[in-house]
Structure 1
Amino acid sequence: MKIGAVFPQLEIGADPRVVREWTTTVEAAGYDHVVAYDHVLGADPANRPGWTGYTDESLFHEVFVLFGYMAAITTELELVTGVLVLPQRQTALVAKQAAEVDVLSGGRLRLGVGIGWNSVEYDALGVPFEKRGARLTQQVELLRKLWAEPVISYDGTFDQVEEAGLNPLPGREIPIWFGGGADAVLRRTGRIGDGWMPTSPPDDKARAQLETIREAAAEAGRDPATIGIEARLTLGAVPEQDWRAFADGWRELGATHFGVNTMNMGLSKPEDHAEVLRDVLPELS
């Protein structure tokens, strides 16, 4: 099971020195990959009674720019979006950005995608919120065509491309993983996904979800064993004495990857995240 570090974007701040030191410390410590979350805009909750979730005060580094920076200061770390809110973005532009990160990093990008929940963000980006699930499925098809062929034509419900293509091409099909736990997500993962990114504990519910993915894969004529699983441990939400058992539980369920999240631990300085990650890796390996 490959172990990665979750980029603590909500707490790391905007100092490029701190981002650089976090990244190089994580790679030197022996982590296999970095996982970064995605949001473009944060909503001001002042006039939105009952608002829950991220706000305008939640700091998010833009994932493709961040990964371009990380690619330049690392040599081995896989760069993983966990997850990119794909339907609110232009498909061809995502294909271009992802291809560029993959090329400049030497093939180290893994694209985790999801539909998101923030309608304010969708509205600001000019994309219908209600059709995000259907759009996501079609986007995956188009992304793979754009990465595979120098020139394509595509006539879809949401995207049209007429005799055009990317240059440079990534030289491979960038892996696309899905985040979320809804039944539609699980079945989509089984049908067309390279992997699944749960955030839940390794319990009976997770076991049942994995079975749904594997059934959908078999129905689609795919080998379920080829679908990866990236679980996530949020250190601040699980008692320290249970961290190893949490990781081992996901190993037993067949997880291929595992992310470690240091946010919401009450750390006093941005620099502390890298130190915690460095110290905890031996306990989970």
Structure 2
Amino acid sequence: MPGIGIGVGLPVLHETDARGSADIVALARHAEEVGIDSVAAADVLIGDGTFALEPVTVLATAAAVTERIRLEFGVLSLPTRPVAMVAAQVQSLQHLSGNRVRLGVGIGGFPGSSFWQAVGARSKARGRLVDEALRVLPGLIAGEPTELPAPPGQRERPVVTLAPAAPVPPILIGGGVAEAVLRRTAAYGDGWLPSAMTPSEVSSAVVRLRELAAERGRPTPGVYLGVHAVLGGGAGTRSAREAMVRQLGDFFGMPPEKIAQVTVTGGPDQIAERIAAFAAAGVTELGFALDGPDQLHQLDLLAEARALLE
């Protein structure tokens, strides 16, 4: 199956430890060894005592123990971070990793949480804030003198030049099928980063994304779809699969029959079949959140499934 990439999420949440996942170093190394295209880190800092690792640090750790694999922010919550700091961190990670960053960004999923309050993040007009950041991020990362909005209570607009200049990484826009998300992707993104979608939903969204990009004279952004997965068999796998169904049902309000369409389970043959279905729908890369036990073994199953499609 030409053209579709395979990525995996790194374990940034405490609940992954309870499922027996490998640590970040082992997972990143093994992902590269078996030919996975990217590793990703989510930004899920809430501030209520939930165990969550900070994504810049996680990806820097993965960069230090790998040489080829892409390093994806999936996705970075822009409202919680000053845009100049985001640019400096991305620029540094590009410099230190050999330009392997893929920058997924979004409006953030926990407005009003204690962490957002502590860092002074706005919970309103998040879309406008993200659009403003996307207009200046490329220039900042590229080392160009860039005028930024005046800080609250000040009139002077600072001009910031960051070094060392780095290639601007592919920018992915996180979010669902809302028109505002698709328009933002068409205007600023090299890719769109949704999750929990069926192949038919992806196909329909790609049609609209293509229309919006054409209106702006831009190429159609790629689709980097996130999927939850429990791969393999056995008693531990069955219980993990049941937990995944409950979690997605509670979070998205999905019935079990739809959950079966937006997740991946089973062995190499079943995995390959699902990958092929998403590829046919227009997915550029399929990013797996491995919810089952023994993530290193699940990486091996992914590699076997991919080999079946070649």
TM-score by length of 1: 0.84
Q: Which 5+ residue runs of structure 2 have no aligned equivalent?
A: 231-262
Q: Separation in 2 of the partners of 1:150 and 1:233?
A: 37
Q: Look up the match of 1:233.
A: 227
| RMSD of aligned residue pairs (Cα, Å) | 2.3
**Distance in 2 between residues matched to 1:74 and 1:139, nearest whole Å:** 30
> 1:36·1:83 contact (CA, 8 Å) conserved in 2?
yes
1:105 Cα deviation from its structure 2 partner: 0.1
1:223 has 2:257 as partner: no
1:197 is matched with which residue?
193
Q: 1:146 to 1:161 in 2, by over 3 A?
A: farther
Matched, 1:249 2:244: no
Answer whether contact 1:27 1:74 (CA < 8 A) is retained: yes
User: CA deviation digits over 1:5-40, x for unaligned, max 9?
Assistant: 1113224559xx932212111111111110111122
What percent of counterpart residues are identical? 30
* Other structure's SS at 2:23 match: helix
Equivalence for 2:296: 274
Q: Does 1:212 align with 2:208?
A: yes
Which residue type is aligned with residue 179 of structure 2?
D
Structure-2 separation of matches of 1:243 and 1:202? 15
- Asked if 1:128 is matched to 2:122, the reply is yes
Secondary structure in 2 matching 1:130 = coil
CA offsets 1:124-162 (integer angstroms, 9 cap, x no match): 210210111110011011111212344232347989753
How far is the alpha carbon of 1:205 from its aligned partner?
2.2
Contact map agreement 2:79 2:126 (CA 8 A) in 1: yes
What residue in structure 1 maps to residue 43 of structure 2? 38
Matched letter for residue 38 of structure 1: D
Q: State whether structure 2 residue 68 is matched by structure 1 residue 72.
A: no
> After alignment, is 234-243 or 34-43 more displaced?
234-243
Contact kept? 1:233, 1:246, Cα under 8 Å:
no
Stretch of structure 1 that moved more, 129-138 or 158-167: 158-167
CA contact (8 A) 1:187 1:212 kept: no
Please, what TM-score do these two structures have when normalized by structure 2?
Answer: 0.77
2:68 is the counterpart of 1:89: no
* Matched letter for residue 254 of structure 1: G
- Number of residue pairs matched? 261
Find the aligned partners of 1:127 and 1:281 in 2 and give their Cα distance: 40
- Work out which of the residue numbers 173, 179, 182 in structure 2 matches 1:178: 173
SS of 2:158's equivalent in the other structure is strand
DSSP-derived class of the 2:148 partner: strand
More moved, 190-199 vs 117-126: 117-126
Q: What is the letter of the counterpart of residue 7 of structure 2?
A: G
Decide whether aligned partners of structure 1 residues 142 and 239 sit closer, same or farther in structure 2, where only a CA change above 3 A counts: same
**Is the alpha carbon distance of 1:109 and 1:274 closer, same or farther for their aligned partners in structure 2, counting shifts above 3 Å?**
same
Asked whether the 8 Å contact 1:152–1:161 carries over to 2, the reply is no
Residue 5 of structure 2: aligned partner: 2
Deviations, residues 71-110 of structure 1 (Å, cap 9, x unaligned): 1111001000111111221100000001100110000000
3-state SS in 2 of match to 1:235: strand
Of stretches 24-33 and 91-100 in structure 1, the one that deviates more from structure 2 is 24-33
Q: Which residue number corresponds to residue 102 of structure 1?
A: 94
